[in-house]
Amino acid sequence: MNSLLEHGWVRLHRKICENKLWFSEKFTKSQAWIDLFLNANHAEGSFWIRGIEIKLKRGQLGWSELTMAKGWRWSRNKTRMYLKWLEKEQQIEQQKSSQTTILTILNYNNHQTDEKTIQQTEQQKDNRRNTNNNDKKNKNDKNVYTTDFEEFWNVYPRKEKKYDTFLIWSRLKPNAELQKTMLNSVKALKLSDDWIKNGGKYIPHPSTYLNGRRWEDEVKKTEEDLLWNK
């Protein structure tokens, strides 16, 4: 059984950042990754920058590149390249603004769930296996997907990890109003600069779109749209 329990579990308190050894030398890439976890919000919250409230969700932190570069003793360029690599590996998402950069650690809950919860989750998985021996067959069975999900899937331009995306969709349980919002969001984003450039190279996986609640993002208009609306 491949799970977090097989690899063991340690508790790492945030106070480790106060130890003089933590900042005694330049960070490694691994230490920088742990530093992001240590400073990410464990619950929803907010902070203020120049009179503007920045709201954060669980698993997010508001740090500028300069803040990270100084803390890790890296150059701005190395910090930027590292963050781009993490984003490419689908470990984080970045939302940049004039105030700061909001980093979202994807799958944050998978790394920050306590051992008791993990055990309960594994037990639930075992129970589901025992009551339904056809899970693997159902994964490839078209009938497993609901009509509302298929509508979303048909509109979304990047067709990868359909079953994983469906599991996230099922957890979200979007009502009719939210489904409409998602579809309108995807249709608008398909025309945005971020999704059009480089042949759609930067279109996120549909699972990433759902996990990151990207339908709440502000859509950047293309140059053509801006000229049309003048």
DSSP string of 61-76, one letter each residue: EE--HHHHHHHHT--H
25 and 71 fall within a common domain: yes
Structural domain ending residue among the three candidates 110, 145, 166: 110
Distance from C-alpha of 152 to C-alpha of 149, rounded to nearest angstrom: 5
Inter-residue contact 39 to 27 (CB < 8 Å): no
Evaluate whether residue 209 is within a structural domain: yes
Residue 116 lies in a domain: no
- The per-residue pLDDT for 48 is 87
Domain edge (last residue) among 71, 93, 110: 110
Assess whether 17 and 67 both reside in one domain: yes
Which tokens hold the place of 96?
């940049």
Q: Contact at 8 Å (CB) between 177 and 143?
A: no
Same domain, 104 and 171: no
Q: Look up the CATH number of the domain holding residue 43.
A: 1.10.10.10
Q: pLDDT digits over 63-86, tens only? A: 888 989 999 999 999 999 999 999
Position 184 scores a pLDDT of 92
Quote the pLDDT of residue 104: 94
**How is residue 35 written in tokens?**
């530093």
- Domain presence at residue 180: yes
204 within domain boundaries: yes
Q: How many domains are contained in the chain?
A: 2
Residues 6+ apart with CB under 8 A from 86: 33, 92
Say if residue 72 is in the same domain as residue 155: no
- Decide if 2 is inside a domain: no
Say yes or no: 20 and 105 in one domain: yes
Expressed as residue numbers, the domain containing 187 is: 136-228
* Other beta carbons less than 10 A from residue 204's beta carbon: 19
Cα–Cα distance between 209 and 230 in angstroms, integer?
A: 30
Does 157 fall in a domain? yes
Q: Are residues 152 and 222 in the same domain?
A: yes
What are 81-99's pLDDT values in tens digits?
999 999 999 999 998 887 7
What pLDDT was estimated at residue 147?
92
Residue 7 domain flag: no
3-class DSSP assignment, residue 132: coil
Domain check: are 167 and 222 in the same one?
yes
54 and 103 share one domain: yes
pLDDT beneath 50, residues of the chain: 1, 4-5, 222-230
Please report the pLDDT score of residue 1 as a whole number: 44
Per-residue pLDDT at 101: 86
